Every structure is written in C-alpha cells, then in structure tokens.
Amino acid sequence: MVENAQPLADRVILVTGAGYGIGRTAALTYARAGATVILLGRTQEALNDTYDLIEAESLPQPAVLPFDLEESDEDKYRLLAEAIDENFGHLDGVLLNAGVLGQRAPLQTYHWETWQKVMQINVNGQFALIKHLLPLLQAAPADASVIFTSSSVGRQGRAYWGAYSVSKFATEGLMQVLADELENTSQVRVNSLNPGGTRTTMRAMAYPAEDPASVPEAEDIMPAYLYLMSPQSGDIHGQALNARDLAETLA
Ligand code: NAP
C-alpha cells in the first residue's frame, strides 16, 4: 500500500501551545502533512518563531493566534471561535496541547493561587475552547479529530504532582464525556494522548536533575500525533492512548 504523504492536505488544524515544545513540533509535523495550522499560544514571539519554521519550508501558510488560556471570561473564547470561523469557516482538527506544570509540592503546602492557575489553564481553558470550537469542528467537510493531552499522572495519581496530576485526570474526564456525547451523532472523533517523558522545558522543570539528552525528543512521538489527527485513525474514538506505544506500533 502506498502511504499518503499528505494525509492532512487541505485541512485546518488548531494547535494550542504551538510556540514551544511538543506543540511546536506537532504544528510543523501537521504543516508538513499538508495542513494549514493555526498556532495558538500565550507568547507572540514564540508563535512567530514557529510560523517562520513553517514558512522556511514553503509549507501552507499558518496563522498566528496569541491567546492566554488563563483567561476566565467566556466571551473571549466565543470571540476567538468567531475569528477562526470568519477566516476559515471550519476546523478539521484541534490538538489541545498547552498546559502548565505548577508546583511540585505536597497537597498540604500547595499554594492556593497556583492550584487555581493550573486548573484554569489545564482544565477550564480547554473546556471553554472546545465548547466554542465544536460547531466549527462539526462543520468540517469530512471527519474531524480532537486530541486532548494527558500524562501518566493523569491516569495514576502520584505524590507531589498536585494540581497538574488532578488537572490531567480532569482532562481525561473531559475527553470521555465529550466522546460519549458525540458517539454515533457526529463525525468528530475525540481521544487523549499521553506523550510520555519528552525533552522540553516542562520536562526539565519537573526533573531538574535529569540529563535532557536521556529523554526522547518530541520528533520521536510525532507518528502518533499525526496518525491520531489524520483520517487514517478514523475508527479510533474515546480512547486514552500513549504516544510512545502508538508511535512504536506505527513504525
Ligand atoms: P512546554 O514546553 O512547557 O510547552 C507548553 C506550551 O503551553 C507552551 O507553548 C506554552 O506557551 C503553552 N501555554 C502555557 N500556558 C499557556 C496559557 N496560559 N495560554 C496559552 N498557552 C499556554 O511543555 P511540553 O512539554 O511541550 O508539554 C506539552 C503538553 O504535553 C502539556 O499539556 C504537558 O502537560 C504534556 N506532557 C508533557 C510531558 C513531557 O515530558 N514533556 C509529559 C507528559 C505530558 P507559552 O510559554 O507562550 O505560555
């Protein structure tokens, strides 16, 4: 069988946290697969750098969309979705990748403000985003894919991972509820992906004593991110997957 080198041709894909780490590599991967990528993140300069990487390879021109997921005014999310609607008319996929680590501390001393911030960005922001983007996903001409980003500590609680761990459990819950709501009623597929330890700024913050060279790069797990975003995974819905395992299966 000849593999389709451009499985995302003519598709519009939103990637959150596209300025750094896994999100940047995923945005570049999706653009190489033919997608027009909307780059969402907090830091405009970082998004511009990702834009330049995509432009340098003469790939479909991306769009830069600075947005802070700490925003708690729901109206801002509605306006964001309206802006995407005006420019693109629909969405074929969303990678909900942006997230923050918060503190590594026992619950007894965990800072209230940090807890609120992590839950706002990692859970509430994702909810508001997907709530307002759903009509655009449902307007996709073919199937559409939503990927939530989980973590090992979102599937098994671990001491000192505090709000981050709890927020990733909530992310799995969000994925399951949405997947069940869309089951048999929509062409929108919803899954969660745990990247596994990956060499990024967040990983270095979580494991300061670790040699970064010993941790796999984001590039290594991209086959899983591409497969799950593309029509090739059309029958996968409502599943909690591990990117490393999936990438190995696909190799
Ligand atoms: P990273 O390098 O720290 O990147 C996180 C991204 O999220 C950045 O682009 C950041 O942009 C964005 N972001 C953070 N707060 C935001 C906000 N308020 N509004 C908008 N964007 C915001 O982290 P990563 O390692 O690539 O992680 C990506 C995802 O994988 C996260 O959900 C993380 O929990 C998950 N994960 C990572 C690992 C790992 O080993 N790396 C393991 C398991 C799960 P700004 O800096 O501009 O805000």
Domains of the chain, earliest start first: 12-250 (3.40.50.720)
Choose among 217, 171, 162, 226: nearest CA to 194.
171
What is the set of active-site residues? 164
**In whole angstroms, what separates CA 220 from the centre of its chain?**
16
Tell whether ligand 1 has an atom less than 6 A from the beta carbon of residue 20.
Answer: yes
Task: Locate the ligand 1 atom nearest the alpha carbon of residue 150 and give its number.
Answer: 44
Please enumerate in sequence order all residues whose Cβ is within 8 A of that of 95, keeping only pairs 6 or more positions apart, or say none.
Answer: 13, 14, 15, 16, 23, 26, 30, 147, 149, 225, 229
- Which residue CA neighbors atom 6 of ligand 1 most closely? 17
CA 183 – CA 120 distance, rounded (Å): 27
CA 124 – CA 34 distance, rounded (Å): 31
Which sign, positive or negative, has the C-alpha torsion 125, 126, 130, 131? negative
- Which residue CA neighbors atom 10 of ligand 1 most closely? 17
CA 50 – CA 47 distance, rounded (Å): 5
Q: pTM, whole model, 2 decimals? A: 0.97
pLDDT score, position 3:
64
Task: Locate the ligand 1 atom nearest the alpha carbon of residue 153 and give its number.
Answer: 43
pLDDT digits (tens, 9 = 90+) for 48-74: 999 999 999 999 999 999 999 999 999
User: Which residue has tokens 């706002």?
Assistant: 120
pLDDT digits (tens, 9 = 90+) for 117-138: 999 999 999 999 999 999 999 9
CA 9 – CA 92 distance, rounded (Å): 11
pLDDT digits (tens, 9 = 90+) for 219-241: 999 999 999 999 999 999 999 99
Choose among 63, 70, 67: nearest CA to 85.
63
